[in-house]
Chains A and B, each alone.
Chain A
C-alpha cells in the first residue's frame, strides 16, 4: 500500500462513471433511498427534470471512491464535502478529476471536480482529507 512519502502535492487522479438506465434503482436497493424522484420518470418530470435523477449520494459515493482509489485504503478517507449543483440524469457520464493540494503532517488534502459529458459541473467545492499515517 502507498505510504505517506508516496503522496505529493500536485498529484492528479481521475475517475469516470456512467449512469446507466437502472443505476438509480440499483443504488436505491443498496442505499435504501427509494424517493420516487429516483424511480419513477413521471415524478422526475413533475419535479422539472427529463426523467428520473440519480441520488445525489450516489454521485457522492463516486466522489468518495475516486478519493479512496487515490488514497489506497477506504479507511484513509477522513472527511469529504461537496455541494450538489446540477442534477445527474440517466445517460450522463460523470468525470471526476482530483488533485492533491496539500500535505500537513499525515493529512493529505484533495480537491475534486465533477463534470458531466457536456462539461457542466455537477458538484462544486468538493474537498477531501485523507489520513496517510502508517497504521
Chain B
C-alpha cells in the first residue's frame, strides 16, 4: 500500500546528541578497518589522523580531533529512522532500502559538541511499484550554528 501523502511535512525531533571522544574514535575505528571498543579493540588501518590520533590532531589545523564527516549518521539519521518506523506511515521495513543520501557538511563536529537534530518528511512519491520517502534533516550545535544538513531517501517496494 502506498504511503499516504498527507504525512508530507510531518516533523520528527528535536533529538539531542552529546558527541563523545570515544564515540568519535570508535566510529573512525569501525569505518577504518579496525575494531571499536575498549576490549579486543584494534586501531583503524587507514583513518585520517585528524579523526583518530589525538596528538596529531592537537598539533593540526583544528586544535583537536574532528569527527569523520560520515559520523553525522550517528546523530542526523534519527528523524529518518523514526519516519521509516513510524506506525502511521505503515512501512514494511523488510521492503525498505536506503536509496539515496546527501549530506552537506557546514562545520566540523568535535568531541564535546551538543547537537540538536530536527527533520521533516519532504517527499512522498509513488513511482511504479516503488514508494520514495524523503526526510530532510538539520543539525545545529551548542552555539546555534548549523553543522550538517541531510536529505535521506528510502525506497519501499509495494
What residues make up the interface of A, taking CB atoms closer than 8 Å to B?
1, 15, 17-18, 22-23, 26-27, 29-33, 35, 37, 43, 46-47, 56-58, 60-62, 64-65, 68-69, 73-75, 77-84, 87, 135
Greatest chain B CB density within 10 A among A23, A32, A47 is at: A32
Partner among A27, A29, A32 whose Cβ is within 8 Å of the Cβ of B37: A29
Chain B residues closer than 8 Å to A68, beta-carbon distance: 48, 68-69
Where chain B touches its partner, the secondary structure class is mixed
Docked-complex contact B61 and A135, CB < 8 angstroms? yes
Q: How far is the CB of A98 from chain B (nearest CB, A)?
A: 15
Partner among A15, A27, A56, A62 whose Cβ is within 8 Å of the Cβ of B98: A56
Q: A33-B73, A61-B31 are in contact. Are A78 and B105 (CB under 8 A)?
A: yes
Docked-complex contact A17 and B33, CB < 8 angstroms? yes
Chain B residues closer than 8 Å to A37, beta-carbon distance: 93-94
Q: List 6 A-B contacts (CB under 8 A).
A: A62-B31, A75-B62, A75-B108, A79-B104, A80-B103, A83-B99
Greatest chain A CB density within 10 A among B36, B74, B99, B103 is at: B103
Question: Please, how many angstroms separate the alpha-carbon atoms of A80 and B103 in the complex?
Answer: 5
When C-beta atoms are compared, the residue in chain A nearest to B25 turns out to be: A30
Chain A residues closer than 8 Å to B81, beta-carbon distance: 33
Q: A82-B101, A83-B100, A135-B61 are in contact. Are A26 and B68 (CB under 8 A)?
A: no
Question: Please, how many angstroms separate the alpha-carbon atoms of A35 and B94 in the complex?
Answer: 10
Question: Please, how many angstroms separate the alpha-carbon atoms of A62 and B44 in the complex?
Answer: 12
Q: Does B27 contact A (CB under 8 A)?
A: yes
Docked-complex contact A57 and B73, CB < 8 angstroms? yes
Extra 16 A-B pairs, beta carbons < 8 Å, given A74-B50, A75-B66: A26-B30, A27-B31, A29-B36, A30-B23, A30-B30, A31-B27, A32-B74, A33-B73, A60-B101, A61-B70, A65-B32, A65-B47, A77-B69, A78-B105, A80-B103, A81-B102
